[in-house]
Amino acid sequence: MSRSQNPVTGPMSGSYGNITTLRYAGKNFIRAKPFEPNDPKTPKQLLHREKFSMLADIYTAFGGITDTGFLQLKKGMTGYNMFISTNLKLAFDKTSKVPVIDYSRLLVSKGAIPRVSVLESSVGAEGITIRYEPNIGLPKVSDTDELTAFAWLKNMKLLIEKQTRGNEETGTLVLNCPDLNVEDVVCCYLFARSADGKMSSNSIYVQV
């Protein structure tokens, strides 16, 4: 972008060919677009774009809940950026010739707190029941940590439940959805976040 301060031109606005002009803050500005945009479409690049698009759709479907799991961000990055960049490397089935998301490899949270230990999970009359071990005593683990469990269903509905980790020998967390069937569940995850909202754990895929 170049600035034009030629008194002959006066105020400038509008477009001509690949040139766009505008007036801002008392100055003329000129922007030029390339006549032939560089948009290579090699098989590798098309594959990358498809993977990116699939993860962006997943992020949207999860309703932004992953933003509460990606807290320790690199400079200039958002929770969305971290979710995409992390899972581009991890979440795809490496044995498939076309992009297929392996939900058991997908991370919806990433951080330094140790992962929550899931002892068992089941689908019943109440919904999804997850029994976990609080792991009190491990570094960076606190009984005040907030646990977040969520499941994504085939009908696009999200089940979300949050509760304090606690300090009992075992804990139970229930995602309420009466008469839920196992085949209705696409994926389910559990992760921890510190009470001050500054740290999180890597998520764990909950097999239901």
Assigned CATH for 43-205: 2.60.40.10
Residues of the chain with pLDDT under 50: 1-4
Q: What is the pLDDT of residue 25?
A: 58
- E-assigned strands of the chain? 2-4, 14-16, 19-24, 27-32, 117-123, 127-133, 146-153, 158-164, 171-176, 185-193, 204-205
Pinpoint the residues of the chain covered by CATH 2.60.40.10.
43-205
- Strand arrangement, sheet containing 158-164: 158-164, 146-153, 185-193, 204-205
Q: Per-residue pLDDT tens for 31-88?
A: 776 655 566 678 788 888 999 999 999 999 999 999 999 998 878 889 999 999 999 9
Q: What is the pLDDT of residue 1?
A: 47
Assign 6 to helix, strand or coil. Answer: coil
What's the Rg (C-alpha) of the chain? 24
